């Protein structure tokens, strides 16, 4: 597996590279956003690790541009910015996971393994379309429509909707959603999942009479008609 590290702090970049190589990965370092983007688009990496605060091009813009050209590559954001708003912004830019500095390498390695495992075997064995009620999710084009109206969703909103559509009419707990959509866990009491549920609800339910996303107080959420 070949991993690209985009990190302007040389000490961190070197430690991550050494740790990855000790576990059998190949690792390449870029020290600014422009160099990272060039490498990411010119070469075939299996995963990208990027900081948010970078010289020449910040990690959020970098992530968005990589997503346009290479939508399937896993991207892990590694940053000192750790508020909920920062995480939401990172996921909206197209990141698959988010690790806050300082961190232990074994946690980084666990996140990397999870992302690579998901990416290597995860293309729809259920066909190209998910359908429920009047909503359709094209897994090939990543286009969502309801009543033939296209709905624009961010990458994380798409993943959340996909999971809910794959498990309709069943209560999904916050911990289950965190583990299966973000492949991580969040601190007890966080409103992170609720923030994304509300984003998604506003886009796919607000303008329609029949609501699909429902809250089960104390339990979680359920995707069903009515």
pLDDT of residue 82: 67
Nearest to 186, CA basis, from 116, 48, 88, 55: 88
pLDDT of residue 123: 42
pLDDT of residue 1: 81
| Pair of tokens at residue 112 | 């990397």
pLDDT of residue 130: 85
pLDDT tens-digit profile, the chain (226 residues): 899 999 999 999 999 999 999 988 999 999 999 999 999 998 889 999 999 999 999 999 999 999 888 877 899 998 887 677 777 888 888 888 888 888 899 999 999 988 887 766 544 444 467 888 889 998 878 889 998 899 999 988 999 999 999 888 899 999 889 888 887 665 545 688 899 999 999 999 998 999 999 999 989 999 998 7
| Pair of tokens at residue 101 | 């500095």
pLDDT of residue 85: 77
pLDDT of residue 29: 97
- Give the strand pairing for 135-138 and 143-146: antiparallel
pLDDT of residue 50: 95
Element (H, E) at 130: strand 129-132
Largest CA distance in the chain: 55
In the block, which residue shows the tokens 């969040």? 186
pTM: 0.59
pLDDT of residue 190: 62
| Domains of the chain in sequence order | 2-121 (3.40.50.2300), 129-223 (1.10.10.10)
pLDDT of residue 125: 41
pLDDT of residue 187: 54
How many whole angstroms separate alpha carbon 143 and alpha carbon 77? 25
Write the pLDDT tens digit of every residue in 173-209: 998 898 888 876 655 456 888 999 999 999 999 989 9
Nearest to 29, CA basis, from 56, 10, 53, 52: 10
Residue 42's φ and ψ, nearest 5 degrees, are -90, -30
SS3 category, 215: strand
Name the strands in the sheet holding 26-30, side by side, starting at the edge strand that comes first in the sequence. Answer: 26-30, 2-6, 47-50, 75-79, 97-100
Q: Hey, how many other C-beta atoms are within 10 angstroms of the C-beta on 205?
A: 16
In a 13 Å sphere around the CA of 101, the CA atoms on its Cβ side amount to 15
| Pair of tokens at residue 147 | 């009543």
In the block, which residue shows the tokens 């359709």? 136
């Amino acid at each position: 597996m070949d991993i690209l590290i985009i990190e302007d702090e040389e000490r961190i970049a070197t430690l991550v590279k050494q740790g990855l190589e000790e576990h059998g990965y190949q690792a390449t370092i870029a020290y600014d956003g422009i160099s990272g983007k060039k490498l990411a688009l010119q070469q075939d990496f299996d995963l990208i690790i990027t900081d948010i605060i970078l010289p020449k091009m910040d990690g959020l813009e970098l992530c968005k541009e990589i997503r346009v050209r290479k939508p399937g590559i896993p991207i892990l954001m590694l940053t000192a910015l750790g508020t909920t708003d920062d995480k939401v912004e990172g996921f909206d830019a197209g990141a698959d996971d988010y690790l806050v500095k300082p961190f232990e390498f074994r946690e980084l390695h666990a996140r990397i393994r999870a992302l690579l495992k998901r990416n290597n075997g995860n293309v729809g064995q259920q066909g190209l379309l998910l359908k429920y009620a009047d909503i359709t999710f094209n897994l090939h084009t990543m286009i969502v429509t309801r009543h033939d109206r296209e709905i624009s969703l961010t990458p994380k909103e798409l993943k959340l909707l996909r999971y809910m559509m794959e498990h309709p009419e069943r209560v999904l707990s916050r911990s289950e959603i965190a583990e299966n959509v973000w492949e991580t866990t969040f601190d007890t009491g966080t409103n992170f999942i609720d923030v994304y549920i509300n984003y998604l609800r506003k886009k796919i339910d607000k303008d329609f009479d029949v609501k699909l996303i429902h809250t089960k107080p104390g339990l979680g959420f359920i995707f069903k008609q009515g």
